[in-house]
Structure 1
Amino acid sequence: MSENQRVKLAQELHDGIAQDLVGLGYFVDSLIGKEGTAPDMRAELRTLRFRLIELIEKVRAEMHNLRLDSPPLESEFEPSINYELSKIFAELIRNVQQHSDATSLTISVHDNGHGGAQPKSDHFGLLGIQERVKNLSGSLEVNSESDGTRVAITIPLISP
């Protein structure tokens, strides 16, 4: 398997299966905490929750193994910041799904850096985002000025 294939598979595991398992874990947590859940059912749900945690760890280990030969993602943020931001975005999106009846979703990130970010053929970050947004029939807007960069992603939401 080529490095590109390993990276793509690891990315798909992360963005797909791993996120689905985490979401399922949150759902199980909500059932455990739901008023009126029978004690024996709570015990079964807790067992399921622990099994989900084990499965998530196995998927993460496989993702790590797939990326061993790949250069690590460089980040100036502490790992806890990356983790918390991902959880914040996941919860915001979950709230849109559950409560808003929205027909589209726009996610915007604006930094106060030096600017200069544009999709380039030899830089895969924005190109990867661009491709994923395209797969969702969405739009990507990148504005990069000397006072920072603003990236806005808008995707249509299809009702189930």
Structure 2
Amino acid sequence: MKDEFVTLAQELHDGIAQDLVGLGFSIDNAISNSADPSTRTELRAVRFSITEIIEKVRIEIHRLRELGPSQVRFTPAYSYELNRVFNEILRNVEQHSKATALSITVADNGIGGAIEKKGSFGLTGIQERVKALHGETLIESDQNGTRIAINIPLDKNDSSIDS
């Protein structure tokens, strides 16, 4: 039974969740290409809704995985708190730092293996989003863990990035 939960979680991740991420990218593109302010506003609202749905699906994926074989997984509450921490850090950078660039590095001491997998868009999604922000991504992974570093310019007047 536990293997079935893990399989279902993987199918949700590789299926519905990735489809929603792809739809989000399409809407981001439509926002960038739209000259009409009201259309852009409506598309942003749809994009926000999709982001909320993606988060709900991810929470369910985490729950299903928790029911599966014992592995280190973040609980939904843990993931939620980490998201709040990162959001607050970014809010402080935006509101108080007067910075012109942002660097974020996340490193773990796991087994490595951060590679692109067929049907999975996690790393690709990260790279595409960073590229859309005119930034750079560095991914290093070996048997001692994975390190993902991103560098993004913070030009708030850049009209090619839709906020």
- Normalising by structure 2, report the TM-score: 0.57
Where do 5+ consecutive residues of structure 1 fail to align? Answer: 19-58
**Whole-angstrom distance in 2 between the partners of 1:125 and 1:118:** 10
Deviations 1:42-61 (A, max 9, x none): xxxxxxxxxxxxxxxxx84x
Shift of 1:145: 1.7
| Secondary structure of residue in 2 paired with 1:105 | strand
Residues in 1 aligned to 2:112 and 2:19: alpha-carbon distance in whole angstroms = 31
For the aligned residues, what is the CA RMSD? 3.6
Residue 97 of structure 1: SS of its match in structure 2? Answer: helix
What is the CA–CA distance in structure 2 between the aligned matches of 1:154 and 1:129, rounded to whole Å?
12
What is the CA distance between 1:77 and its match in structure 2? 0.8
Q: Distance in 1 between matches of 2:122 and 2:19?
A: 16
SS of corresponding position for 1:89: helix
Equivalent of 1:139 in 136, 139, 151: 136
Q: Computing the radius of gyration over CA atoms, which structure comes out larger, 1 or 2?
A: 1
1:106–1:152 contact (8 Å) kept in structure 2? yes
Identical-pair percentage: 42
Aligned pair count reads 114
The offset of 1:80, in angstroms, is 0.6
DSSP 3-state at the match of 1:77: coil
Shift of 1:146: 1.3
Aligned structure 1 segments of 4 or more residues deviating by more than 3 angstroms: 2-16, 71-75, 119-122
CA shift, 1:118, in A, is: 2.4
- Correspondence 1:77-116 to 2 at 5 A: 77-116=74-113
Q: What letter corresponds to residue 104 of structure 2 in structure 1?
A: I
TM-score, normalised by the number of residues in structure 1? 0.57
CA contact (8 A) 1:121 1:127 kept: no
AA at the equivalent of 2:131: K
Measured in 2, the distance between the counterparts of 1:14 and 1:79 equals 25
Structure possessing the higher relative contact order (Cα contacts under 8 Å, 6 or more residues apart): 2
Shift of residue 99, structure 1, vs aligned partner = 1.1
**C-alpha separation in 2, matches of 1:116 and 1:128:** 17
Q: Which residue of 2 aligns with 1:31?
A: none
Aligned equivalent of 1:123, options 110, 114, 120: 120
How far is the alpha carbon of 1:150 from its aligned partner? 0.3
Query: Could you say what secondary structure the match of 2:103 adopts?
Result: strand
